[in-house]
Chains A and B, each alone.
Chain A
Amino acid sequence: MLDIRNLYLSFHDHGETTEVLHGINLHMDAGERLGLVGESGSGKSVTALAVAGLVRRSRATISGEILFEGRDLLKCPREKLRAIQGKEIGMIFQEPMTSLNPLMKVGHQIEEVLRIHTDKSPAEMKALALEVMGKVGLPDPPTTYEKYPHQLSGGQRQRAMIAAAFIIDPKLLLADEPTTALDVTVQAQIIELLKRINVNRGIGLLFISHDLHVVRKLCTRVAVMHDGCIVETGLTEEIFHHPQEDYTKRLIAAIPTREKRKRANG
């Protein structure tokens, strides 16, 4: 479904050019849960932003191909791109504080994508929004619909984001560290929710995280990124048990375990 081939991306700022992706190749099947892991600055988020078409072309040069169901997103005319990206790709961001508009009712934000891409009546949109809000586990949808983001908790905001992203039934959901800003119990709930959406609706999930622990719980396949390159790809369990690359080995060795913690404290 998603096929990234030889993707190079460099930013330029005041005459200086920095290449941040050095030829990325990444393949994702429909309905798959793929984890993209790596340290901060390794280019995970930029990859997702490029797929979502959110890299400002005036500030960056992109070459290579991003094939989404056979269509190259980098060569698509703008209007067509908007239709594809808005309808078939959804994105959830890291900071639930800033990813919702602080002065727009939660319900309206969840509906917004319908307003753009469908010609449903306001009543239909609201009904659908309430249904989706219930599915993502937001409490008392009719009340929450009227609330503003600051009246929700971090976990609830992230649920609202997820509702807004999948209300239109996209084929691909990009999740850029959606659980990093949440505490552990809420994290587990959100991961369960993403898994459920993936299984029930067959929505592909590209899950970006530096937290290997979370990725292991959620994803079937993992791609390890380092310094703008993908160093290793494979099934999650294989990568965790038999990492091939040095960098992957070091990354896995850095996961805190109970023994290590004891040693450190003792």
Chain B
Amino acid sequence: MKKQHHQNFILGCCITGVMLLLILIGAFWTPYDAEAMDTAAKMQAPSFAHLLGTDNFGRDILSRVLEGAGTTLLIAVSAVAAGLFFGILIGAFTGWYGGWIDEVLMRIADVITAFPSILLALVLISLLGSGKSNIILALSLLFIPSFSRVVRSEYAKQKELDYVRNAKLMGVGTLRIMFVHILPNVWPVLLSSIAIGFNNAVLAEAAMSYVGIGVLLPDASLGRMLSESQAFFFSAPWYALSAGLTIVLLILGVGLISDGLGE
């Protein structure tokens, strides 16, 4: 069992590493301009000139996948980071102090988590308008409750431990106890929530762009590509496959890592 988890972890690191490397390269260099249309080369199957083929406007799919994955990754990472920051802040204070603020904030968190996150994200986007920064804002708002709840329960547990009591007796300040003494002990538990949050963010971005309220044109996005490729599923299967497999690989890599870390 243990060995299995270890292998998963390594496999996950490899997949994620390769994806990150490709996305990083894609940020500076793509084989073609991702927006350049070439009417002479529409719907071409994968070849040496176009490794993943071209789409219905003759755009190079590999270039678009690289750019789209970059957009998706940027959104997912920013949303998780922002959600994490506020989640830790709220969770640390509610867990440490308890009392009525804790009750109120946690009930609000319960309400938010009771809805499927994608549904709430859709509502928020329809209120805020679409676009990259609004997606990040909506997703990070949705992530705050789940992160803060994990952090809160860890703080509530840790604050009763003797090492915290001892720090208090020594006269260590409350903020220092919270963020220097306790926080490092919360990370191991948070890691799997971070991985789950990342995967949810990738899926939510793809879903929103798929239904057309996510990333705006002309930005490339995996979800948008997926929805555009749908019409040509039988005539140009490589189009849908490249976008879909990229999403799958992104999620699979992080999922395997968190699975391995869980042990």
A positions within 8 Å CB-CB of B = 49, 52-54, 58, 82-83, 85-87, 89-91, 93-95, 98-104, 109, 112-113, 116-117, 161, 164
Contact = CB atoms under 8 A, between A and B. Distances in A.
A222 B185 CA distance: 39
Interface in B147-175: 161-163, 165-173
A99 B165 CA distance: 8
A98 B181 contact: no
Contact of A85 (B162, B171, B173, B184): B171
Contacts of A98: 161-163
B163 A101 contact: yes
Interface residues of B, number: 16
A91 B171 contact: no
B166 A164 contact: yes
B78 to A, nearest CB: 27
A101 B181 contact: yes
Contacts of A102: 163, 185
Nearest to A94: B162
A116 B172 contact: yes
A93 B166 contact: yes
A82 B166 CA distance: 12
Given A101-B185, A103-B184, A104-B181, A93 B165 contact: yes
Contact of A116 (B163, B170, B184, B185): B170
A53 B171 CA distance: 10
27 contacts: A49-B165, A52-B165, A52-B169, A82-B171, A83-B171, A85-B169, A86-B172, A87-B171, A89-B169, A91-B166, A91-B169, A93-B162, A93-B165, A95-B162, A99-B163, A99-B166, A101-B181, A102-B163, A102-B185, A112-B170, A112-B172, A113-B170, A113-B171, A116-B171, A116-B172, A161-B166, A164-B166
Interface of B: 99, 161-163, 165-173, 181, 184-185
B164 to A, nearest CB: 8
Contacts of B171: 82-83, 85-87, 113, 116-117
A107 to B, nearest CB: 15
A104 B171 CA distance: 17
A176 B99 CA distance: 29
B115 to A, nearest CB: 31
B163 A100 contact: yes
Contacts of B172: 86, 112, 116
B193 to A, nearest CB: 18
Contacts of B170: 86, 112-113, 116-117
B87 to A, nearest CB: 20
Contacts of B173: 116
3 nearest CB pairs, A to B: A86-B171, A99-B162, A93-B162
Nearest to A84: B171
A101 B173 CA distance: 16
Contacts of B181: 101, 104
Nearest to B187: A103
A81 to B, nearest CB: 9
Given A86-B172, A116-B170, 4 more contacts: A91-B166, A98-B161, A98-B163, A116-B173
A53 B170 CA distance: 11
Nearest to B161: A98
Nearest to A113: B170
B34 to A, nearest CB: 44
Nearest to B183: A103
Contact of A86 (B162, B163, B169, B185): B169
A104 B158 CA distance: 14
B172 to A, nearest CB: 6
